[in-house]
Amino acid sequence: GLSNDVGGSLLAPNSVGQLRAMRAAYKESGLSPSQIDFVECHATGTPTGDPIEIQSLKTLWGERGWTAGQCALGSVKSNVGHLLTAAGSAGLMKVLLAFEKGLIPPNANFRTPNPAAGLEGSPFRIPVETRPWARRDAKTPRRAALSAFGFGGINAHLLVEEAPERRPA
């Protein structure tokens, strides 16, 4: 899903534009947010941007239909910093490696969430150690979402599903 904040600030995040991109991705895929196990956030670590991104995710997921902490949140920026125009690509590589390894990766150097993010009682948790990424059941693939929000209010949200296991011929 792609969107633009249309008239937003060059550097300030905008939940309306973020949600427009997120909703477009889910509409195109036919999935619902509660079917996602991991969100690779844009998460720049700024006091304003991260709470707005979390609020956008909370609005997208709504008030029902999920279990507290069911979806892990990550950001490759905690490992490699902000790569500007390559940030989304680095996040996608992280998601694909997590699929391949079957692991939910931790967030480097994370200690406590920004209180303004309001993660308590939400569908989200921030992993601080590597954990196995169990499939929901034998037929459901692992699924992740990836956000890349850029300068001038350009927003992208991508849903990714792991490939089926190859069976020897």
Closest CA to 144 of 77, 109, 106, 92: 92
Helices of type H across the chain: 15-29, 49-61, 77-80, 87-101
Token pair for 16: 């309306």
Query: For 122-138, what is each residue's pLDDT tens digit?
Result: 999 999 999 999 999 99
Position 159 pLDDT exceeds 70: yes
Report pLDDT for 165: 80
**CA atoms of 40 and 147, how far apart (whole Å):** 6
Closest CA to 72 of 128, 5, 19, 137: 128
**CA atoms of 85 and 19, how far apart (whole Å):** 21
> At what angle are helices 49-61 and 15-29 packed, to 10 degrees?
40
pTM of the model: 0.92
Helix (H, G, I), strand (E, B) or coil at 79: helix
Position 160 pLDDT exceeds 90: yes
**CA atoms of 130 and 119, how far apart (whole Å):** 20
**CA atoms of 14 and 70, how far apart (whole Å):** 25
Query: For 51-92, what is each residue's pLDDT tens digit?
Result: 999 999 999 999 999 999 999 999 998 888 887 778 889 999
